[in-house]
Structure 1
């Protein structure tokens, strides 16, 4: 049960932060955000705050912010429709009732002849006396259909009405939010547990380990192994890993004194895919506690992880690695469960890594992803005019279909790896 809760929280937090980036910047740009959704499919829970409906949906495979103008409006009023109207004290229409389940008081019935709810904001038609009348529509008027209310979206509240910069910022805000989440988590871990030192200095020594039996202590600096100078922690780790079961002479500095220790790295019970055995002595990396160092570490680690992810993506495109190197929803859930069982620090580090992954994948210039939408905005900037909406919509549809196909293939690989290996 704890594992399931951890998976829900980790995935939920990453998706929430991602979509929150869209929402915050869109609202600051004056875009009407109709819905903020975590997940897809049927609604499990919803509430309305202001002009936005907040929902949690059944399938935890993503989320979305439904902004006015991005998709065709779900409710359209055509010529000849009978609607009910409600007015405010100034005589402007505040409610347009399309499908009345019950009779509402203080309404006027109108047979619509012309209507503009985007630019001029008016509705014109024949009233009960068959007189042609015209009414102004309030900017915050609502459409009522099956007793569900939806705000109208004047053109200046729609996504497409905003400047190129505002639209790009709204789209880019989500990957940026995921980078910020990763930075906060990595920095928080460094503040809590310390910043790993790059110096070849011993941190904790595991009880009963080879290192303890040989006499190594916390704070010891390893100057050399078998007469080879150790200039960094990574070099120290590589030397030990590559010499399982071999006697090594360590030159150790402790309290400004140098001495030698002979240590034989133990051999791990499991092997690498290459079959090469790994040596270990049972020590942890030395950590330093520094506020500034924690912030620097959080940023640098995020950059290093991002660089690694880009390298892997490049290897996918060049064929250096196959699709079996990718993890889909099943693999992510499985790894998240393993991280949860390993403890909170590992789970938080895994959450940060997932957040970076989501940010980078969404920035790829593939239709249906944030990067694809940014690509179309870049083309608009070069051409001086937008791409035809139908052509862009078709490209996003094809991109989404191919993305779903990729997810199915990767998920099948996950199922085989998790359940049949």
Structure 2
């Protein structure tokens, strides 16, 4: 139960911040946001505030921000279509009722001849006395169909009306907010747990190890190996791992006294390669410093971005196969393992997942944010946008392929963990 709650909180937070990025930059650009959704499929909960519907949906596999002007959002009134109109105090149409009730008060009836609900905002047709009349339409007018109200979207409030830069930034903002979230999680770890100093201080010595035989003890601070300065634990580990079977001279400080010992790392084979080990344990000392916590947050975020791109490169070059990928089931199992090691490990895992989500969405694949940004690049090169129907078809095919990939990855996870 705890794992389920942790998974929902972590994955829900990552999706929420991703969509929040799209939402905030859409609003900044003046784009009308129809819906802010967490999850896909049937609606569980929905609250309308202003012009946006905020929903929680059944399938917790992502989310979306539905902006005006996308996905056949506009409404066209065909000639001869009979509608009911309700006017405001300025004699502008504030409500267009498609399935009208003739008994409703203050409603005018019109047989539509022509209309423009995007740019000039008017509707023209024949009233009940067969007169051709025209009414201006309010910018915040609503269309009512089967009891459902939808605010019209003037063209300047639609996604496609904005400059290429604003559209690109609105799409890029989702992954960007995942990176920002990751930074703040790492920052919180640095503030609450402390920032690792990575000082090369021995925290434990294994039995029957070369280090124990040489007299090394807990608390020893290694300063040099073969006369070369050792400033970080990573320096020590790299030197030892690269020196299997080679005699090394260690200089370390114990209680203010400098000691020299000769240690030969034993060879250990792992993943077909040979590494040196001397049998010491390490737990980095930490320092609670707000300024260093900020640096730690930035450093960890950048470091994991680089690592994940390196792993993607290995996938492209065939060093990893699709079997190495994990879907929701694999993420759930990994979350379960991380939860066993405490809240800070869980926070670290959440930050890595956030970076991973941001990078995955930036891949130049149809239906992903990166795919849309790629179309914007084509638009910048061509000087005009790609045909919306053609782009929509490409994204539709992309969604189908991603769904197939999701099924394959999930099946691999099920086989890996349950069979």
Q: Which residue number corresponds to residue 297 of structure 2?
A: 298
Q: Which residue number corresponds to residue 328 of structure 2?
A: 329
Contact 1:23 1:65 in 2 (8 A): yes
Q: 1:265 to 1:282 in 2, by over 3 A?
A: farther
- SS of 2:378 mapped into structure 1: helix
1:158-173 superposed matches below 5 A: 158-173=158-173
1:13-412 superposed matches below 5 A: 13-73=13-73, 75-100=75-100, 103-202=103-202, 216-218=217-219, 220-224=220-224, 230-237=230-237, 251-259=251-259, 280-412=279-411
Contact 2:205 2:218 in 1 (8 A): no
Q: 2:69 and 2:86 mapped to 1: Cα distance?
A: 25
* Residue 236 (structure 1) shift: 3.0
- SS of 1:404 mapped into structure 2: helix
Q: 2:336 and 2:274 mapped to 1: Cα distance?
A: 28
Q: 1:101 to 1:86 in 2, by over 3 A?
A: closer
Q: 1:216 to 1:372 in 2, by over 3 A?
A: same
Q: 2:318 and 2:40 mapped to 1: Cα distance?
A: 33
- SS of 2:367 mapped into structure 1: coil
* Residue 249 (structure 1) shift: 8.1
- SS of 2:19 mapped into structure 1: helix
After superposing the two structures, state which structure 1 stretch, 259-268 or 321-330, moved more: 259-268
Q: 1:360-418 deviations in whole A, cap 9, x for unaligned?
A: 11111111111111111111111111111111111111222222222222111111111
Contact 2:201 2:282 in 1 (8 A): no
Please, which runs of 5 or more residues in structure 2 have no aligned partner?
A: none
Q: 1:417 and 1:408 mapped to 2: Cα distance?
A: 14
Q: 1:7 to 1:276 in 2, by over 3 A?
A: farther
Q: 2:126 and 2:278 mapped to 1: Cα distance?
A: 87
Please, which runs of 5 or more residues in structure 1 have no aligned partner?
A: none
Contact 1:36 1:65 in 2 (8 A): yes
Q: 1:99 to 1:337 in 2, by over 3 A?
A: farther
**Could you tell me the TM-score, scaled by structure 2's length?**
0.89
* Residue 130 (structure 1) shift: 2.1
Q: 1:49-74 deviations in whole A, cap 9, x for unaligned?
A: 11100001011111100000121027
* Residue 264 (structure 1) shift: 11
* Residue 282 (structure 1) shift: 3.8
Contact 2:205 2:279 in 1 (8 A): no
- SS of 2:340 mapped into structure 1: helix
Q: 1:51 to 1:260 in 2, by over 3 A?
A: same
* Residue 173 (structure 1) shift: 0.6
Contact 2:39 2:57 in 1 (8 A): yes
Q: 1:98 to 1:228 in 2, by over 3 A?
A: same
Contact 1:265 1:281 in 2 (8 A): no
Q: 2:207 and 2:145 mapped to 1: Cα distance?
A: 72
How many corresponding residue pairs?
416
* Residue 205 (structure 1) shift: 5.5
Cα RMSD after superposing both structures: 3.2
Contact 1:205 1:212 in 2 (8 A): no
Q: 2:55 and 2:208 mapped to 1: Cα distance?
A: 52
* Residue 84 (structure 1) shift: 1.2
